Amino acid sequence: MEKLCFSQLHPRWNRQHGSVQPGDEFCTNKLNLSGPASKRRKTQIPGLDASSESETAVSSDSSSSEEGEDAESAAGRSQGRPKYKIPKVGRLGTGLGRPWNQEEMAGFRKLWPGLTHVPDSAIFTASRTELANMGRGRAKESKVISTRQIKNYERACAPVRVEAGFDECAGTVHSSRFLRGFIGDPQELWLQARTHMEIEGLSPITNYEMGCQGIGDLLTTPVWEEIHNPGSRLLCLQMLSPKSVETALRNPDKSESPKLFDTLGELKTAVITLDTAILRVMPWNHAFRTLALFLVSTNYGDSDLGGKTSKVQVLTGFVNEVMLQNAKAWVEKRKYFSHQDLVNKWPAFMNRSSSVLKTAEPSRGSQKKQKHTKTGSASGGGGGSRPTVPKWVCKKFNQGDCKEIGDKHDAYWDPNFSLKHVCSKILADGKCCLKAHAIKDHK
């Protein structure tokens, strides 16, 4: 079986203990880096025999920049001295499968006088680019690193033989887990996983060790159940809100609707927690990571939602909608939303959410204005109506009948409206007490 890291992979997505069959893995497709045959030409180094000759792919544009010569080399050509080339970078840097010999190194020193005082040990296995830079006296570490990265990439394109063995997801793992990560488009990896896995994903478990990452108490059984299935349409971000987690831990056998976030900080924590958990279960699944990076790149929509009281609500809706679309893409064997897809989707989503943005802030302002108006009328004795308790004060809390824990909770009639546990006592000046105690405890 062939294991390809770019176009086809040996199955890495099986979390369960089992055997691994031998096969080849490619980190990427093999690329033809030699260029058109019409742009190739044979080159030879002084001291190289015919058997050591190599073809170097050079274009008319790159030859001047990559293999430009100094003034002395140009003067030598004007006197009839041939323009020498060095074999293409390859194994051991020489491209010959062996180090340079004495005659070849003498030819390099003749071509680049700057190598005269460079010891043989530095020239012995150096690549042509490193020799050229050293010979011209302008060698830089960044160029040497770049050359090494090119060689490493070429080696990564070669297939890797995966030996048969066993993998224990809770113990000793197979060595294939430590191979180089996938070089290609993560969306392509997503599609490959879909061809190897069932539509339901993996069988869910809750035994992942998350304590060392500090999120062990932020993930509940319902969340673990859904993140094992890339096509789940039940997973939503509110399942990781503090209230939802508290409710699920307190009553694990009781199914309740997810609670909303109170602050943007809670939403951010939920995003990073869910992202970490998904990658622990399915390291190849970068669908939610792409969404999380988009939120970070836009500073969680600050340019469009800055100062809006409904910012958290809108962001939650956007995340849930994208997650639902990605789940549908998994079922239909399509790519998940890329960063550019999210960039295009965000304005359309904002237009659909404009009604929420328009009604959220004025309603809060109108409540404040109404409260100040009534307060002023009562305190001024102008015959105005008696001040009323704000609608966001929990009546059951003041009556001693509220079962919710904390300083606020979702309204019973509208989950998008919050009720606060504060005193509803109307004071002598016409203002409401609004302190953190029930009216029966007011003194």
Q: Are residues 210 and 343 in the same domain?
A: yes
Residue 177: inside a domain: no
Q: Which of 120, 154, 124, 122 is nearest to 139 (CA)?
A: 122
pLDDT band at 355 (very low <50, low <70, confident <90, very high): confident
Residue 184: inside a domain: no
Q: Does the pLDDT of residue 367 top 60, yes or no?
A: no
Does the reported pTM lie above 0.75?
no
Q: Are residues 128 and 48 in the same domain?
A: yes
pLDDT band at 430 (very low <50, low <70, confident <90, very high): confident
Q: Are residues 337 and 386 in the same domain?
A: no
Q: Are residues 342 and 382 in the same domain?
A: no
Q: For residue range 41-68, list pLDDT tens digits in order.
A: 333 444 444 443 333 333 333 333 434 4
* Domain count across the chain: 3
Residue 198: inside a domain: no
Q: Are residues 310 and 396 in the same domain?
A: no
Distance CA(223)–CA(271), nearest Å, equals 13
Domain boundary among 94, 124, 156: 156
Q: Does the pLDDT of residue 110 top 50, yes or no?
A: yes
Domain containing residue 241: 204-352
pLDDT band at 169 (very low <50, low <70, confident <90, very high): confident
Residues 6+ apart with CB under 8 A from 71: none
pLDDT at residue 334, rounded to an integer = 96
Q: Are residues 315 and 248 in the same domain?
A: yes
Q: Are residues 334 and 231 in the same domain?
A: yes
Q: How far apart are the first and last CA of the chain?
A: 79
Q: Are strands 408-410 and 418-420 parallel, antiparallel or unpaired?
A: antiparallel
Q: For residue range 303-343, list pLDDT tens digits in order.
A: 999 888 889 999 999 999 999 999 999 999 999 999 999 99
Residue 11: inside a domain: no
Q: Are residues 73 and 140 in the same domain?
A: yes
Residue 165: inside a domain: no
Q: Does the pLDDT of residue 20 top 80, yes or no?
A: no
- Cα angle 39-41-45, degrees, rounded to a multiple of 5: 145
Domain boundary among 352, 376, 400: 352
Q: For residue range 65-80, list pLDDT tens digits in order.
A: 434 444 444 444 444 4
pLDDT at residue 265, rounded to an integer = 94
Q: Are residues 119 and 219 in the same domain?
A: no
Higher pLDDT, 443 or 190: 190
Residue 327: inside a domain: yes
pLDDT band at 151 (very low <50, low <70, confident <90, very high): confident
Domain boundary among 352, 375, 408: 352
Q: For residue range 265-317, list pLDDT tens digits in order.
A: 999 999 999 999 999 999 999 999 999 999 999 999 999 998 888 899 999 99
Residue 32: inside a domain: no
Average pLDDT, the chain: 74
Q: Does the pLDDT of residue 83 top 80, yes or no?
A: no
Q: Are residues 224 and 316 in the same domain?
A: yes
Q: Are residues 209 and 309 in the same domain?
A: yes
pLDDT band at 107 (very low <50, low <70, confident <90, very high): confident
Residue 73: inside a domain: yes
Q: Are residues 321 and 218 in the same domain?
A: yes
Share of the chain above pLDDT 70, in %: 67
Share of the chain above pLDDT 90, in %: 32
